[in-house]
């Protein structure tokens, strides 16, 4: 690992760069309202901050990208390397604060919060003096790149994909200052991204394949399972115990991260099968109008709906048992991952509106997974699992009916679940891959 005795201060700044920074600093001063919605993410430094510590700066655009970097940040902290962590989107508040607590427990938290806005990156680089800047996928800003170049801090992009933001960051930063380009390391997951990244970067040594560290978080979850073959969370255990009198029939169909847009495009998702079964619905938003609309649609299809947030108040659940089709509506957080490990069929929402959500979590239980099309071609894991036959793309009702007819009554066997866990563990190791590349700097 290379170490630098002194931090490279910014060199003389070209006039165009100065004007660009001044304009965007003023613009974001007017429009940036993130701190009002998430005051707990106010930028801070730990009391033990020392400029000689040279932390690794972990930056994520939103909650999904932070999830992808979580195991890497924790591994660096275990190696006694301090972490400075930022996020751009207020949607990352909950996972950010949880990861912050974990880093603090390991003694690796040095500070962070909401990221700088465009035009203000250089000030933070000079304040914290990182040894490397680590981000995910396609998070890129021209001033971020210019600032990293000025202070000679390498940028490591984990799960790199050649998207518009990266192209634009390079183009604008090159126009503003042709001689100030950062040292890049592009770590990709899927072979489909290799050629585009190498052609674009013109430097094959900057482009390297690594395993996806997000699989490691699922391995950790699997290794922490309770006795037997179920993978559980505390709240999930409470829900199962409370619903036990219902003797919920198999198969269990799970609609995870569901949006109303999914139901509108695929109303057959709510069609009861010919035989008794159980429908589990986990909305992407667990409160508000989205939840109420989904409850209306589910009820209109004849399901008896039980909300998990209300089951503690329900009396004598045994009287509700029987052949009636039951929908368990999970209007709370912290359950979906455990539920996926019990599923016989899964639909992952978002593919008809916001963009398809995480398919990695349901894949490790061996159940067939259905998704809508939006965003499906952007994720390496979707492409991989589609090639393996576990994920099926649904473009409309006819596709759904065809696939439903093949899988609707099937129950995933214990042997299939065990094979899925073994496959999961074979994908592990991405955290080590990425950590090694980061520590090269």
- pLDDT on residue 230: 43
The tokens for 206 are: 């900057």
Region 136-158: what's the mean pLDDT? 96
Residue 45: count of CB within 10 angstroms of its CB? 14
Measured CA to CA, the distance from residue 11 to residue 103 in angstroms comes to 33
Task: Express each pLDDT in 227-243 by its tens digit.
Answer: 333 445 788 999 999 99
- pLDDT on residue 233: 74
The answer to whether the bond into 211 is cis (omega within 30° of 0) is no
- pLDDT on residue 441: 80
The rounded mean pLDDT for the chain is 90
23: which residues sit within 8 A by CB, 6+ positions away? 119
- Would strands 44-45 and 109-114 be described as parallel, antiparallel, or unpaired? antiparallel
Answer yes or no: is pLDDT of 353 > 50. yes
Answer yes or no: is pLDDT of 10 > 70. no
- pLDDT on residue 11: 63
- pLDDT on residue 333: 86
Region 181-185: what's the mean pLDDT? 94
- How many Cα atoms within 13 Å fall on the side-chain side of residue 202? 2
- Which of the two residues, 399 and 274, has the higher pLDDT score? 399
| Confidence class for position 226, pLDDT limits 50, 70, 90 | very low
The tokens for 18 are: 């100065």
Contact 59, 132 (CB under 8 A): no
Answer yes or no: is pLDDT of 387 > 80. yes
**Residue (of 279, 176, 217) closest to 68 by Cα position:** 217
- pLDDT on residue 50: 84
Measured CA to CA, the distance from residue 110 to residue 248 in angstroms comes to 48
Region 338-359: what's the mean pLDDT? 94
Answer yes or no: is pLDDT of 5 > 60. no
The tokens for 187 are: 């770590």
- pLDDT on residue 322: 63
- pLDDT on residue 229: 34
Region 245-259: what's the mean pLDDT? 94
Answer yes or no: is pLDDT of 350 > 50. yes
The tokens for 52 are: 């000689």
- pLDDT on residue 248: 92
| Confidence class for position 334, pLDDT limits 50, 70, 90 | confident
Task: Express each pLDDT in 151-163 by its tens digit.
Answer: 999 999 999 999 9
Answer yes or no: is pLDDT of 349 > 60. yes
Task: Express each pLDDT in 80-134 by its tens digit.
Answer: 999 999 999 999 999 999 999 999 999 999 999 999 999 999 999 999 999 999 9
| Confidence class for position 276, pLDDT limits 50, 70, 90 | confident
Q: Set out the domains of the chain in order of their start, with CATH numbers.
A: 15-216+429-438 (3.40.50.11720), 227-426 (3.40.50.2000)
- pLDDT on residue 323: 58
Answer yes or no: is pLDDT of 4 > 50. no
């Amino acid at each position: 690992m290379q170490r630098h005795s002194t931090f490279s201060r910014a060199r003389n700044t070209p006039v165009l760069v100065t004007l660009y920074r001044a304009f965007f600093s003023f613009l974001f001063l007017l429009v940036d309202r993130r701190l009002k919605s998430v005051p707990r993410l106010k930028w801070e430094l730990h009391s033990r901050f020392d400029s000689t510590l040279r932390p690794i700066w972990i930056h994520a655009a939103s909650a999904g990208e932070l999830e992808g970097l979580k195991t890497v940040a924790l591994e660096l902290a275990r190696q006694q390397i301090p972490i400075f962590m930022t996020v751009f989107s207020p949607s990352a508040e909950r996972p950010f604060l949880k990861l912050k607590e974990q880093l603090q427990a390991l003694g690796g938290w040095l500070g962070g919060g909401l990221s700088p806005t465009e035009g203000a990156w250089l000030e933070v680089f000079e304040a914290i003096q990182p040894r490397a800047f680590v981000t995910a996928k396609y998070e890129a800003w021209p001033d971020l790149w210019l600032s990293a170049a000025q202070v000679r801090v390498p940028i490591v992009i984990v799960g790199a994909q050649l998207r518009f933001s990266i192209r634009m960051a390079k183009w604008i930063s090159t126009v503003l200052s042709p001689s100030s380009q950062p040292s890049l390391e592009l770590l990709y997951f899927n072979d489909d991204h290799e050629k585009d990244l190498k052609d674009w970067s013109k430097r094959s040594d900057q482009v390297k394949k690594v395993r996806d560290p997000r699989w490691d978080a699922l391995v950790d979850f699997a290794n922490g399972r309770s006795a037997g073959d179920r993978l559980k969370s505390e709240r999930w255990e409470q829900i199962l115990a409370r619903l036990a009198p219902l003797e919920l029939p198999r198969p269990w169909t799970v609609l995870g991260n569901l949006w109303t847009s999914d139901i509108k495009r695929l109303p057959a998702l709510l069609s009861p099968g010919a035989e008794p079964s159980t429908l589990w619905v986990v909305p992407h938003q667990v409160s508000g109008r989205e939840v109420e609309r989904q409850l209306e649609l589910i009820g209109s299809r004849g399901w008896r709906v039980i909300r998990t947030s209300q089951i503690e108040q329900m009396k004598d659940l045994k009287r509700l048992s029987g052949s009636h089709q039951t929908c368990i509506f999970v209007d709370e957080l912290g359950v979906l991952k455990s539920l996926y490990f019990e599923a016989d069929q899964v639909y992952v929402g978002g593919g008809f509106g916001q963009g398809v959500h995480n398919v990695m979590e349901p894949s490790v239980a061996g159940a067939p997974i259905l998704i809508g099309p939006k965003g499906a071609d952007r994720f390496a894991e979707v492409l991989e699992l589609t090639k393996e036959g576990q994920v099926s793309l649904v473009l409309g009702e006819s596709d759904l009916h065809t696939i439903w007819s093949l899988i609707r009554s099937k129950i995933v066997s214990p042997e299939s679940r065990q094979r899925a866990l073994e496959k999961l563990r074979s994908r592990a190791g991405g955290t080590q891959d990425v950590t090694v590349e980061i520590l090269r700097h």
